[in-house]
Amino acid sequence: MTFKTQLASAIMLGLMGLSAQAGELTIESWRVDDKALWEEHIIPTFNKTHPDIKIKFAPTAPTEYNASLNTRLSGGTAGDLITCRPFDISLELFTKGQLTDLSQLEGIKNFSDVAKSAWQTDDGKATFCMPMASVIHGFFYNQDIFKELELAVPNTEEEFFAVLEKLKGSKYTPIALGTNDGWETHQTVYTNIGPNYWKGEEGRKQLVEKKAKLTDPQFVAPYTQMAKWSAYMGNGYQSQTYGDSQNLFALGRAAIYPGGSWDIAYFNTNAEGMKYGAFKPPVAKAGDKCYISDHTDIGMGINPASKNVKEAEAFLNWLASAEFAELYTNKVSGFFSLSNHSINVTDPVAAEMVSWRKQCDSTIRLNAQVLNRGKDDLETAFWNAGQAVVNVTAKPEEAAAKVQAILDK
């Protein structure tokens, strides 16, 4: 063998080493926070029954995920299993041929139509991601602070603002919320308190069918409430980040934290010993029907370019099993399995939140389905609107009108 052929074969071997071995699956995900849970619990449990399939969990930061996943899919370097955002974002990947049709897969039978609807074509013929979990929005409160100041958990808006007013006189920050990052004001505030005003699915469908506008009272009212919040937020909230808010609540310096069930895992690991509970978005009058944002948030599909489709299908079928549902719901607290198996939720706060499903009607985030389609970024417009309202730089009506203008195009 000459030196040249030696070198060439060495390079070839090196390249083969870089590419994944047969039977090894890589998972693309935005759940950076869950990396340890996947590596320590989920993958080992899967390997008990499938010892020959190796799995690597390779997450990207949430705000980068869509952009970088697109680049990797187009460039042919994406992993075998793709964690799916709900609705239009994944639908677009499917129409571009970057996700496989899973309709014939055995495990898909374990899910209800509502669960599947987040990852189906408009005609419902093809399902392209295995539903994994939903998240529920609500408010967290520090039980020690509430006990110290003799506050009761608010059920109505009036009670809610009475609690805030009392907290304002104390040494605690009433609401742990910042507007620096923007997205919280939309995803954890507007779509959290909003469904009570627009009557959940009813209002959302009217918006999708263009029978209602964002400038209608039921869609402006949440902004009007948000404008009143600024008086109860921490000093300098305009440059407070999401991480700052989480810290502020975890350190026991703030009493109420508007968020979602996905925060439970964070507080359980970073605020050990803090006693906290959850309450659902307050309704206008006592006895009003309540609505919660119960968002089908996360699913998983197969990259058609994968060389290990058989293994990937085996993994997805396991994702549909009762074993995974139990494991995911209780290990990744705050993500509720969407499968039909009945699961016992062990975390008290997560159990409280999931119990709201029985008392209230569920809806998904306002603009997740159909509305986001188009060249302009409706989601960003919503973030900016929420941010401007809470920063008191725009009136609720102006903010709503600005988003409606993009929706009208």
Smallest separation (angstroms) from another protein to the CB of 121: 16
Q: CA nearest 291: which of 206, 185, 378, 363? A: 363
Tally Cβ neighbours within 10 Å of residue 161. Answer: 18
**Which H or E element spans position 274?**
none
Smallest separation (angstroms) from another protein to the CB of 345: 30
182 or 195: CB nearest another protein = 182
What is the C-alpha R_g of the chain? 23
Which residue do the tokens 């309709």 mark?
103
Residue 391 contacts another protein per CB under 8 A: yes
For 75, the 3-state DSSP assignment is: helix
Q: Which stretch binds another protein (CB under 8 A): 134-142, 193-201, 235-243, 317-325?
A: 235-243
Instruction: Out of 244, 263, 297, 347, name the contact with another protein by CB under 8 A.
Output: 244
**By CB under 8 A, what part of segment 166-195 binds another protein?**
178-183
Residue 301 contacts another protein per CB under 8 A: no
**By CB under 8 A, what part of segment 84-123 binds another protein?**
88-89, 92
Residue type, 217: P
**By CB under 8 A, what part of segment 16-35 binds another protein?**
none
Residue 230 contacts another protein per CB under 8 A: no
Size (the chain), residues: 409
Residue 239 contacts another protein per CB under 8 A: yes
Looking at 208-312, which runs of residues are DSSP E strands? 254-260, 276-279, 291-302
Residue 66 contacts another protein per CB under 8 A: yes
Residue 240 contacts another protein per CB under 8 A: yes
32 or 284: CB nearest another protein = 32
Q: CA nearest 171: which of 142, 192, 193? A: 142
Q: How far apart are CA 401 and CA 319, in angstroms?
A: 42
Say if residues 102 and 306 touch (Cβ distance below 8 Å): no
Smallest separation (angstroms) from another protein to the CB of 393: 6
Residue 234 contacts another protein per CB under 8 A: yes
Smallest separation (angstroms) from another protein to the CB of 261: 21
What one-character-per-residue DSSP string does 322-363 give? HHHHHHHHHHSTT-EE-BSS-----SHHHHHHHHHHHHSEEE
Residue type, 309: V
Instruction: Out of 141, 229, 237, 279, name the contact with another protein by CB under 8 A.
Output: 237
DSSP 400: H
Residue 259 contacts another protein per CB under 8 A: no
**Nearest-10 Cα torsion for 157, 291, 228, 63:** 150
Smallest separation (angstroms) from another protein to the CB of 167: 17
Smallest separation (angstroms) from another protein to the CB of 276: 19
81 or 390: CB nearest another protein = 390
Q: Report residue 376 as tokens.
A: 């302009």
Q: How far apart are CA 30 and CA 58, in angstroms?
A: 9
Which residue do the tokens 């607290």 mark?
333
Site string for another protein, 133-172 (x = CB under 8 A): ----------------------------------------
For 239, the 3-state DSSP assignment is: helix
Site string for another protein, 344-363 (x = CB under 8 A): --------------------
Classify residue 274 by burial, with Cβ atoms within 10 Å: 0-12, 13-18, 19+: middle
Q: Give the interface size with another protein as a residue count (CB under 8 A).
A: 39
Smallest separation (angstroms) from another protein to the CB of 311: 29
Residue 406 contacts another protein per CB under 8 A: yes
352 or 379: CB nearest another protein = 379
Give me the residues that bind another protein (CB under 8 A), please.
Answer: 63, 66-68, 70-71, 88-89, 92, 178-183, 234-240, 244, 247-248, 372, 376-380, 383-384, 387-388, 391, 393, 406, 409
